[in-house]
Structure 1
């Protein structure tokens, strides 16, 4: 299809980590790309993510491993310049997780192994120790935006009510709208899963730690340049973006059982984000009524950062 009559080759709907990485892949392959974002990247769910590179609450399992490994390769390279990219390699322990929980993933992690008894906090009998990318998302989203602009792409503040609007500007539209896909597609299988975090001053923590507590609670502490991110919650169906004080206290108390110094650490910030969860990630191509191409790339749940580059390349192949 000739693109001469269009203003762009591709419009990507959505300006979070999935939209920006997809736009970068397309732009760096020579496509004229515009990102239409309803809100600035710093106001997206991506911006409040703890952003430990780890497969979490995402399906289909048979594809996630390869997407995560491809993304890991990209983050490993970006970790060479953490000041610019926001990506660092940090060692830590994922408790109550066997080494073979996802072999294609753990085999790709340099030095991944079972944690020894002295590497586990009291109360945990098993864990997986690994060095993985840990991402300062606000810095990283800025990096992604700059990289896209350098490749000739553009980011525009623009909300859409349907894909036909974008199809009038470009012959290919990529739907990276995350939770917005619930109404935009519409896809009722997309639902919010609320995550609440607490950011505190770092009392000297250098390694990350994470452990599942229950279907709705997680314990984790992620040392970032701006403090330690403490988590968290996983509350399906909640649209509440207001930080709950009782939940915040419970998060700090759980984390302080692992690192007692956290009990007195000064609270810097409360964060709440809504993970765009779907039974399985949707990467799929369809033809619009007017003849344009629509490629879907949404439903990444709590692992959008972890699979962003792998999914971006899969979507780009369909575009």
Structure 2
């Protein structure tokens, strides 16, 4: 197996891969041009919602199940530092017609998801009994939404979890070097190989996300632009009149549990311009977009107006609530995630090269399973002369 590995990239996949290797007592060097909390990083700006989203890889269900199991375990361990960074909340996906349950709804993880496919009438009965927030039923029915998925999901406080993982790596006896603010961008994968050899590494994991478009000359990797407004969660004012919440609990609205709302159908949302609200840590994230190939770095005025309308439709009083920040990021979209050994480079260099990028909008949904596969690839390749592609073993 690899004895020392250079991990490049400090997003959620890079950090978790380094931790996975450390847990297997493999020495790690971690480098990245930008800190995990740099505003440009997708892992920091993401909503932190566990739900497969724009990741069509056939391995997604397995990766997401492994991640769900860990996040569910962490959220139940409130006394541990990491447990305080994961929150269980009800999630609602509104639709205009009844939709078949997604494959991930059948995850064999006990009953943690508690997935239900409901009419809108039954959904609001559930919200009455379970006391979680929903937009006013009349607003949703007038817009044409008649059905919904309801399930219990996990939300990661992404900035704090990234720092928690980074601190674990720094503190480990198996960590040889950490520099996540190198400010150096490599132009090709061969430069990373030189870096790995200079550090005495016999393994290299490329977790550079969208940076791999240049590093690997991968034309199939495209940025999918996302936009968010962040409202202060503690002082968020919920509009109880024109677009408020269910009338029977309006007087006690502060006692209601927050919920995740997502809509990808007109009139409030679409596949490229979804409407969603995700309570995450200290904020409520309202978005958004999934625009493949769009390179605009700011939020356009028309987009801002639409997000404000989304927030109002979801029940936030935008005139009284404090918008504390906004975010624009570029998800690494690929038709199938690249998670494999680069056989040619590995054979030529003597360093086992693993590429791990292109998870689209599902980084926080698949990161545990992906990182495990990254480590498996290194171990299997080094031990048997074959590589594990995340589905079956392929002999070289």
TM-score, structure 1 length as denominator? 0.91
Q: What is the Cα deviation at residue 83 of structure 1?
A: 7.9
Match of 2:113 in 1: 110
Match of 1:234 in 2: 290
Match of 2:178 in 1: 155
**What CA distance in whole angstroms lies between the structure 1 residues aligned with 2:229 and 2:278?**
11
Match of 1:174 in 2: 205
Cα RMSD, aligned residues only: 2.1
Match of 1:6 in 2: none
Q: How does 1:16-55 map to 2 (within 5 A)?
A: 16-43=11-38, 44-55=41-52
Distance 1:147 1:12, change over 3 A: same
**What CA distance in whole angstroms lies between the structure 1 residues aligned with 2:291 and 2:68?**
27
Q: How does 1:129-208 map to 2 (within 5 A)?
A: 129-152=150-173, 153=175, 154-156=177-179, 157-158=181-182, 159=184, 160-161=186-187, 162-168=191-197, 169=199, 170-201=201-232, 202-203=236-237, 206-208=258-260
Contact 2:105/2:113 (8 A) holds in 1? no
SS at match of 1:229: strand
Q: What is the Cα deviation at residue 263 of structure 1?
A: 5.5
SS at match of 1:41: coil
Q: Does 1:126 align with 2:147?
A: yes
**What CA distance in whole angstroms lies between the structure 2 residues aligned with 1:311 and 1:82?**
27
SS at match of 2:332: strand
SS at match of 1:233: coil
**What CA distance in whole angstroms lies between the structure 1 residues aligned with 2:303 and 2:328?**
11
* 1:195-253: CA deviation from partner (whole Å, max 9, x where unpaired): 00001132257111111122321111111232211010111112222233331221120
Contact 2:123/2:148 (8 A) holds in 1? no
Q: How many residues align?
A: 313
Distance 1:302 1:274, change over 3 A: same
Match of 2:280 in 1: 224
SS at match of 2:10: coil
Q: Which segment drifts farther, 249-258 or 116-125?
A: 116-125
Q: Which segment drifts farther, 76-85 or 266-275?
A: 76-85
Higher strand share: 1
Q: What is the Cα deviation at residue 30 of structure 1?
A: 0.2
Contact 1:69/1:104 (8 A) holds in 2? no
**What CA distance in whole angstroms lies between the structure 1 residues aligned with 2:171 and 2:73?**
18
Q: What is the Cα deviation at residue 16 of structure 1?
A: 0.4
Match of 1:316 in 2: 375
Match of 1:81 among 73, 78, 82: 78
Q: What is the Cα deviation at residue 2 of structure 1?
A: 8.3
* 1:78-97: CA deviation from partner (whole Å, max 9, x where unpaired): 22238833211111212238
- Could you say which structure has the larger radius of gyration? 2
Match of 2:241 in 1: none
Contact 1:53/1:133 (8 A) holds in 2? yes
Q: Which segment drifts farther, 237-246 or 48-57?
A: 237-246
Distance 1:26 1:214, change over 3 A: same
Match of 1:67 in 2: 63
* 1:254-284: CA deviation from partner (whole Å, max 9, x where unpaired): 2311315345422111111110101101110
TM-score, structure 2 length as denominator? 0.74
Q: What is the Cα deviation at residue 36 of structure 1?
A: 1.0
